[in-house]
Amino acid sequence: VLLTCAFCAVLLILIGEYRLDRKVKRTFSLTAVMVFFAALCEWGGIFLNGAPENTKFLHALIKAGDYIFTPLIPYFMTRRFADRKYLVTASGAVIAANTLLQIVSVFTGWTFFIGADNHYAHGRLYPVYMIVYALVYVALVVSFFDYCKHFKRRNLPSLISTFGMILMAVLLQEIFGDTCRIAYLAISGGLTFLFLHYIAFYQQRNEEFMTEQDRLLRTDPLTQMQNRFAYNELLGEFRGEPDGNVTIFSVDINRLKRINDESGHEAGDRLIRGAALAIDEVFSPFGKCFRTGGDEFFCVLELPGHNERALTEALRKATETMPGMPKPGLFLSVGYARASEHRGMGIGELIAVADHAMYREKERFYEEHPELKR
C-alpha cells in the first residue's frame, strides 16, 4: 500500500512540475487518484476479512468500490488518448454496465460476496468482471499506441514492457490471490512510466513542431525553395572577402508581369514554379538557391572550376524542356559574379555585380525579342 501510494505521490509531483496541457494533467491526476482509491478499497477489503459481523455491509461496499474504481483507471486514460472515438463510447458503456453490476452485487453476490465468516469470495459472475477489466485495458492499449504512432521505434520496447509488467502483475495476483497483492503496485508504477513516456512524446512532438515552423520560416510556399529570410541568414555568415570559389548567380524571370496581366496569376505561378525547378536542378548540387522576390532568384555556389557559362547554358536547356509553361515559354535572364575575379569585394558587392550582369542580360533579351517586351 505504501509503495502504491508513493508511486501515486511521485506521479502527482511530476505532473505538477511539467508545463503540459491542462486536460493531460487532469487525466493523469484523476487516474492517479483513482489508483489510490482502488488500492485502498482492495487493501481495506483484505483488512476486513474475518472482521466482526457488523462490518459485513461495509466490507461489501469496499469491495464494490474496488471493482468499480479499478476499470475506471484505464477508462480515464482512454478518454484522453483515443483517436478512435468509438473506443471511448464502447468503454464508457462497459464501465456503466460494470458499475451497475457491482452495486447490484453488494446485495446479490453476483461478482463477489461476503461469506458468513466475513471473508470475501468471488461470485459466479466474477468472469464477467474480468472480461470488463480486459476490455477496458485493451481499449487503453489500442488508444495509447494510436496516440504514440509517431514515437520513434526505439521508444516502443519500453512502452510494450510497461503494459507487459501490468498484465503480468494482474495475472499473478489472480493466480496466487492474497499471497501476491501486487496489481496496484504495478499499475501505479506503470502509470508513472506511461507519464514519462508521454513526456518524451510531448517533447518530441514539440521539437518536430518547432522544426517544421523553422522550415516554414525559411521556405517559399509557392516554390518550396529557401526564401529571402534564409538568404539573408546565409549572407550574414560571410565575414570579409568570400573564398575565391564563391560564385553568385542572379536569375530573373522575363515577361512575368505580362503573363500575369494577360493570362492570370495562376499562369504566372506556373512560370515561377517552372523557373524554381530548373534553377534547383542545375544549381543546387553546387550550393544553395533562394527565391528572394516575385521573379527574383539568387544562388550562392561553391564552384572549384570556372564553369559558370556551362551552368548558364544548362539552365537555358532546362527551361526549354520545362513542361506546362504558358506560351511562348519560360525565359530567364542570368548574371553571375565569381569572387576570384573580383578581389577585395565583400559578399554584398559581389551580389551587386551579379545583379547588374543579370539586368544587362535582360536588356539584351528584350532587344533580341522586342515582340516579348514587357
Name the strand (E) or helix (H) holding 282: helix 265-283
- CA dihedral sign, ordered 84, 85, 88, 90: negative
Cell of 143: 488508444
Q: What is the DSSP letter of 18?
A: S
In which residue are the cell numbers 464477467 written? 128
Q: Where are the beta strands (DSSP E) in the chain?
A: 112-114, 120-122, 246-253, 287-291, 296-302, 332-338
Helix or strand or coil: residue 162? helix
Q: Give, for all 374 residues of the chain, the pLDDT tens digit.
A: 677 888 888 888 888 888 888 888 888 888 888 888 888 888 888 889 888 989 999 999 999 999 999 889 889 888 877 778 888 999 999 999 999 999 999 999 999 999 888 998 999 999 999 999 889 988 988 887 777 666 666 666 777 777 777 778 777 776 776 666 677 778 888 888 888 878 877 887 788 889 889 989 999 999 999 999 999 999 998 888 888 899 999 999 998 888 888 888 899 999 999 999 999 999 999 999 999 988 999 999 999 887 899 999 999 999 988 888 888 888 999 999 999 999 889 999 999 999 999 999 999 998 888 877 65
